[in-house]
């Protein structure tokens, strides 16, 4: 099946918004064996949208249109669809009910233009919007399908994953060629070292593909195999995964879309362990990431964000002389903070961060990017030094990632050797 993606919106043509909707759809469609033949961006302009619809059905079987479904004057996609399909708009009672509930739940007044979100093309297959008000729609013309979704990325994603994809999968069972991918997620190791450790990739992969995708959280290794059946693909992927794990398994914290905080949360919950976190330089990011995991109240007891030295002394019982002698950014203070939060919270494990995130705060001996992370239980109390970069936000992210990775290695008994 050939697919065509049309993104509608002036904000894209003036470069104010990066077209992540198109790349998300293209990635998903490719994964499900659609061939994306073209992506185009048109403005909030009726003729341009109609021209593009005409052209797209000449080239592809399924057209995905995002954007221009909102309630205001510059949202004209629905009007264009009316013209294109020569259909009128009708109220969809289910959507109207969704919109009413959406407003009711937020204690807000429903207006006429909100109600108009429930207008859909007659004969449309409607995909409900669980996180916003504009629904998705599918319409057909001469055997070609046009699927329309709102342009707000999280709404589009939600509708695509919850409704469009299941609908398409059921209607068009997959083609014969099976492509499978697996992401192995590593952290705490550089791309180049990972690459070297893996040795001869041709031998390791025997025909499969491996991509190294570094980001601020670590390096993702994406394995891609092609096969003639699901089973063959699964077994090929598994074989390569096992080979890779045998070499660099200690750096792999998870696979697929897992986050390291989910992995660590699972370990803590399974073992019935409680955690307290003390943060200085990360300013709440470690706690925020851990509490993004549903059910985190089962292991996360409290977090103490001690930005001032006074708070470190008062809340975490850090020795004032230590701060004076070694500085607030030091191995000793990281250890004392971890010990302090563990004791005051009565938890099994304490983790702490202290560092210099920039742009200010550097001293002669302590550059921007210097970080200490402490971890302790009732027996050991240790800390480690890290060196990150110059960017404040990236430094916060990398420090939080290293802290959660130290926790993971502590829980699994993997030494933190680099």
Among 152, 185, 318, 333, binds a copy of itself (CB under 8 A): 152
User: Of 243 and 392, which CB lies nearer to a copy of itself in the complex structure?
Assistant: 392
Q: What is the nearest approach in angstroms of a copy of itself to the Cβ of residue 106? A: 5
Contacts by 228-234 with C-beta closer than 8 Å and gap 24+?
228/176, 228/177, 228/178, 229/178, 230/178, 230/180, 232/178, 233/178, 233/179, 233/180, 234/180
Number of residues this chain uses to bind a copy of itself (CB under 8 A): 109
State how far the Cα of 373 lies from the Cα of 52, in Å rounded to an integer. 54
User: Of 28 and 319, which CB lies nearer to a copy of itself in the complex structure?
Assistant: 28
* 97 lines the binding site for a copy of itself (CB under 8 A): no
Contact 403/288 with Cβ under 8 angstroms? no
Q: What is the nearest approach in angstroms of a copy of itself to the Cβ of residue 10? A: 6
Among 1, 32, 71, 165, binds a copy of itself (CB under 8 A): 71
Q: What is the nearest approach in angstroms of a copy of itself to the Cβ of residue 87? A: 25
Among 57, 146, 185, 285, binds a copy of itself (CB under 8 A): 285
User: Of 157 and 245, which CB lies nearer to a copy of itself in the complex structure?
Assistant: 157
* 364 lines the binding site for a copy of itself (CB under 8 A): no
- 224, with CB counted inside 10 A (0-12, 13-18, 19+), is middle
Name the nearest CA neighbour of 304 among 368, 260, 360, 354: 354
User: Of 9 and 139, which CB lies nearer to a copy of itself in the complex structure?
Assistant: 9
The interface region with a copy of itself, picked from 68-76, 120-128, 166-174, 318-326 by CB under 8 A, is: 68-76
Among 32, 43, 100, 157, binds a copy of itself (CB under 8 A): 43
Among 63, 137, 208, 279, binds a copy of itself (CB under 8 A): 279
Contact 373/352 with Cβ under 8 angstroms? yes
* 379 lines the binding site for a copy of itself (CB under 8 A): no
Among 22, 149, 244, 318, binds a copy of itself (CB under 8 A): 22
The interface region with a copy of itself, picked from 31-39, 84-92, 161-169, 407-415 by CB under 8 A, is: 31-39
Q: Cβ contacts of residue 124 below 8 Å, gap of 6+?
A: 87, 137, 138, 139
Residues 217-276 that bind a copy of itself (CB under 8 A): 222
Residues 163-222 that bind a copy of itself (CB under 8 A): 181, 190-193, 195-196, 201, 209, 211-216, 222
Q: What is the nearest approach in angstroms of a copy of itself to the Cβ of residue 143? A: 22
* 327 lines the binding site for a copy of itself (CB under 8 A): no
Residues 121-140 that bind a copy of itself (CB under 8 A): 130-131
Contact 114/133 with Cβ under 8 angstroms? yes
Q: What is the DSSP string of 202-221?
A: HHHHTT-EEEEEEETTEEEE
Contact 352/334 with Cβ under 8 angstroms? yes
Q: Cβ contacts of residue 372 below 8 Å, gap of 6+?
A: 329, 330, 331, 333, 334, 353, 354, 355, 383, 384, 385, 386
DSSP, collapsed to helix, strand or coil, labels residue 139 as strand
* 412 lines the binding site for a copy of itself (CB under 8 A): no
* Residue 205, token pair as written in the block: 């992969």
User: Of 139 and 263, which CB lies nearer to a copy of itself in the complex structure?
Assistant: 263
* 302 lines the binding site for a copy of itself (CB under 8 A): yes
User: Of 249 and 359, which CB lies nearer to a copy of itself in the complex structure?
Assistant: 359
- 387, with CB counted inside 10 A (0-12, 13-18, 19+), is exposed
* 106 lines the binding site for a copy of itself (CB under 8 A): yes
User: Of 170 and 196, which CB lies nearer to a copy of itself in the complex structure?
Assistant: 196
Q: In degrees rounded to 5, what are phi and psi of residue 86?
A: 55, 50
DSSP, collapsed to helix, strand or coil, labels residue 141 as strand
Q: What is the nearest approach in angstroms of a copy of itself to the Cβ of residue 136? A: 17
Q: In degrees rounded to 5, what are phi and psi of residue 331?
A: -55, -45
Q: What is the nearest approach in angstroms of a copy of itself to the Cβ of residue 86? A: 25
């Amino acid at each position: 099946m050939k697919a065509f993606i049309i993104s509608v919106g002036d904000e894209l043509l003036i470069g104010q918004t990066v077209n992540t909707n198109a790349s998300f759809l293209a990635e998903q469609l490719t994964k499900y064996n659609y061939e994306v033949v073209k992506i185009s961006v048109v403005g909030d302009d009726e003729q341009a949208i109609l021209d593009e619809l005409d052209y797209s059905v000449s080239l592809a079987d399924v057209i995905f249109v995002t954007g221009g479904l909102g309630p205001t004057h510059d949202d004209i996609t629905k009007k264009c669809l009316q013209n294109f399909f020569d259909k009128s708009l009708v109220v969809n009672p289910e959507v109207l009910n969704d919109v009413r509930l959406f407003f009711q739940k937020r204690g807000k007044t429903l207006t006429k233009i909100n109600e108009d979100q429930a207008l859909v093309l007659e004969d449309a297959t409607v995909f409900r919007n669980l996180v916003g008000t504009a629904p998705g729609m599918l319409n057909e013309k001469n055997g070609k399908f046009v699927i329309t979704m709102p342009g707000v990325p999280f709404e589009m994603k939600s509708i695509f994953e919850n409704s469009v994809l299941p609908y398409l999968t059921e209607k068009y069972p997959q083609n014969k060629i099976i492509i499978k991918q697996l992401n192995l997620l590593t952290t705490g190791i550089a791309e180049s070292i990972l690459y070297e450790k893996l040795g001869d990739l041709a031998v390791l992969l025997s025909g499969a593909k491996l991509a190294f995708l570094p980001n601020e959280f670590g390096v993702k290794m994406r394995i891609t195999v092609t096969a003639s059946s699901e089973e063959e693909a699964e077994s090929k992927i598994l074989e390569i995964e096992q080979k890779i794990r045998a070499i660099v398994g200690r750096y792999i914290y998870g696979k697929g879309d897992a986050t390291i905080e989910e992995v660590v949360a699972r370990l803590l919950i399974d073992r019935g362990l409680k955690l307290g976190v003390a943060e200085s330089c990360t300013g709440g990011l470690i706690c925020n990431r851990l509490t993004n995991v549903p059910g985190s109240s089962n292991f996360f007891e409290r977090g103490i964000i001690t930005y001032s030295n006074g708070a470190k002394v008062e809340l975490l019982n850090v020795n004032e002389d230590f701060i004076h002698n070694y500085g607030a950014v030091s191995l000793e203070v990281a250890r004392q903070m971890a010990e302090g939060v563990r004791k005051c919270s009565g938890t099994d494990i304490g983790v702490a961060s202290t560092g210099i995130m920039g742009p200010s705060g550097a001293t002669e001996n302590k550059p921007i990017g210097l970080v200490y992370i402490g971890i302790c239980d009732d027996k050991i109390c240790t800390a480690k030094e890290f060196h990150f970069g110059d960017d404040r936000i990236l430094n916060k992210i990398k420090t939080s990632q290293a802290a959660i990775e130290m926790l993971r290695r502590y829980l699994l008994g993997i030494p933190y050797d680099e």
